[in-house]
Structure 1
Amino acid sequence: MSLKNLYIIAISLFAVGCFAQNNPFEHLSLDERNQLADKYHKLSMEKYQTSEMHRIYKDSALMANPKNAEYTERYSYSYKKAGEHIKAMKLLNKAVAMDLENNKTNALEYKAWSMLYFYRDYEAAIKDVDLILEMKKEQPLIACHGEPCLLIKGQALYQLDKNQEAIETLEKLLELDKKRGFDPLDNFLAYFYIARSYTKIGNIDKAIEYYQNQLAVYDNFTEMHYQLGKIYLDKNEIDKADLHLKKAKQLIEKGTKMYEPYIERFDEVFVEEIDLELDRLKIKNEP
């Protein structure tokens, strides 16, 4: 390790140790503190997010620039990934508060996404999205951590069994896609959760319509074939059930399904579930 890196680590350890007493950077100018914060932040990104050194550098960055909402939000990832969720949420809520003071929604967008997928706090996810959309009226297609915020809200409503509201929210997303010149059929998750919502309220014909429209342009959707196969099996349309369930089994054996590196989708399907439906199909086929 170079003397330069040893010096940086020594300063970081000293800074963290002194944090409860005073801020060792308070004598520096604002520009100097911002530069130092950026330096520590970049150094933290070279370390594993859950490591002690990552946190030492992040602590140092935030001592140099305690009002940096981005660094505060990013620091929450370290605790979230380590399962230390109280600390993670404390940091994330702090970042949200700092952003809102400056009429920004960056941290809130990530919080809405986290509330839906990680913490399954659907009411909180909806509340966060509504606030984002109120603040960003000129950006109705604004994204929450890479996904349209309206898609986040639609899935939260679906999970709360507010299925008609879910359908209306997701239809609005598709209409906005169309107005922007996007092909609504490209938003396959919106189609999927509209179909799931129609299924839950018993409008099976409408659910089938959405599944078929989507599969006509995107046939490699394991969960869609699985859900459609179940519907046809319940309707005793055996040939159609056989077609879609076997397609789902073929796709999942290739590793094709709704998989995310950090989350499980709500209707992610597993091979055991498909096999159970194929067994049910076999029984119905028996003379």
Structure 2
Amino acid sequence: MEKSLKSYLNFFGLFIFGLSLSQVNCEALQDENCKKSCEISNKAEKFQWNEYAQSLFDEAIKLCPNNDYAYREKAVPFLKSGDFITWKKLIDKAVEINPNQNLGYRAWCRFQFLRDYQGAIIDLEKLKEYRPTDLGSSQNGDYHLEIVKAICYSAIHQKEKAIELFENQLSNKNHSTGFYDYYQLGVAYFELKNYDKALENFEKQSKIYDFAENIFYKAKVSKIRNKDYLDLKNLALKTYDEGKLMKDVYTHHFNKVYKKQMQDL
């Protein structure tokens, strides 16, 4: 077992990782070895943070080398411990075996944990070959993966491309709006100095879920336009202190704003 993983497990004790996908229906498998492998990996997934679970995943893979679920779940603790090299080897194997099931997950992890925006875009483009009508949602449910792709383009300074993707997805009648969709679009417009469109989307965001960062950007627009912005700035700080802000259990959101930035406005 890698030293980094051991250190992480010792620190977090019985912490259960939350990135696992739903367990596999083993009864649907015809091959007896793969069915047994599936049962073992389902068992190991429940407590994947310890060395015994890792040995179970190894046993499952040995029984059925095409058990992509075992590879993916075995990889999760390495992702959380920061051992991205080991994680990448394991998740790449899962993707190789079953790209339809694993490309979106790898893309999200590349985006969320590694800030590998180009890699995430490549994965999502490949996923489109398997899911042409709907890529599905991010692992934590915050975003549709089309929105993730748009954010990735925004992150690599292709704002116009990002806005096109945002607008296309948000106009899709089947799209379920996420917590931060209009905010992310608004920031992309803001960075292109299109303050009218930026404010329009910040206002749309406020109607769905208002939070400190969104209010802060409305204050920035007001300041740029030489309008009174202090009330909005103070409201952003108050909202921040109340805990209504961009949150993630493991990492920091793209376009996250911190209290010091709000105070300095």
Q: Aligned partners of 1:141, 1:171: CA distance in 2, in Å?
A: 16
RMSD over aligned Cα, in angstroms?
Answer: 1.9
| Stretches of structure 1 lacking an aligned partner (at least 5 in a row) | 1-29, 278-287
1:189 maps to amino acid: Y
Q: Distance in 2 between matches of 1:219 and 1:190?
A: 10
Would the aligned equivalents of 2:68 and 2:94 in 1 still touch at CA under 8 Å?
A: yes
Matches within 5 A, 1:202-281: 202-215=193-206, 217-218=207-208, 220-238=210-228, 241-277=229-265
User: What is the count of residue pairs matched by the alignment?
Assistant: 234
2:184 corresponds to which of 176, 193, 212: 193
Distance in structure 2 (CA, Å) of the matches to 1:258 and 1:149: 18
1:65 aligns with 2:64: yes
What is the correspondence of 1:134-149 to structure 2 with a 5 Å cutoff?
A: 134-137=129-132, 139-140=133-134, 142-145=136-139, 146=141, 147-149=143-145
The answer as to 2:43 corresponding to 1:43 is yes
Find out whether 1:79 has 2:78 as its counterpart.
yes
Cα deviation for residue 70 of structure 1 reads 1.6
Q: Which segment drifts farther, 187-196 or 85-94?
A: 187-196
What is the DSSP-based 3-state SS (H/G/I as helix, E as strand, rest coil) of the residue aligned with 1:143?
coil
Distance 1:226 1:265 in 2: 15
Between Structure 1 and Structure 2, whose CA radius of gyration is higher?
1
Q: Flag as ranges the 4+ runs of structure 1 deviating above 6 A.
A: none
Return closer, same or farther for 1:187/1:55 CA change in 2, 3 Å cut-off. Answer: closer
**Does the Cα contact within 8 Å between 2:104 and 2:135 map onto a contact in 1?**
no
Structure 1 residue 219 displacement after superposition: 5.3
Separation in 2, partners of 1:203, 1:196: 10
Cα separation, 2, equivalents of 1:106 and 1:190: 24
Work out the percentage of aligned pairs sharing the same amino acid. Answer: 24
The structure showing larger relative contact order (alpha-carbon pairs under 8 Å, at least 6 residues apart) is 2
Normalising by structure 1, what TM-score? 0.76
Q: Are the counterparts in 2 of residues 50 and 81 from structure 1 also a CA contact under 8 Å? A: no
TM-score (norm 2): 0.82
Query: Partner amino acid for 2:40?
Result: Y
Alignment of structure 1 residues 142-181 onto 2, 5 Å = 142-145=136-139, 146=141, 147-176=143-172, 179-180=173-174
Contact 1:211 1:224 in 2 (8 A): yes
Cα deviation 1:37-88 (Å, max 9, x = unaligned): 23322332343x3321121111111111210112211111021112221111
Q: SS of the residue aligned with 2:134? A: coil
State how far apart, in whole Å, the 2-side matches of 1:79 and 1:218 are. 36
Residue 14 (structure 2) aligns with: none
Q: Does the CA contact (< 8 Å) of 2:38 and 2:67 recur in 1?
A: no
Give deviations 1:130-181, integer Å, cap 9, x for gaps.
11123211x23522423311111000001011001000001011111xx22x
Q: Which residue number corresponds to residue 6 of structure 2?
A: none
Structure 2 Cα separation of the partners of residues 141 and 59 of structure 1 = 30
What are the within-5 Å matches in structure 2 for residues 76-155 of structure 1? 76-100=75-99, 105-137=100-132, 139-140=133-134, 142-145=136-139, 146=141, 147-155=143-151
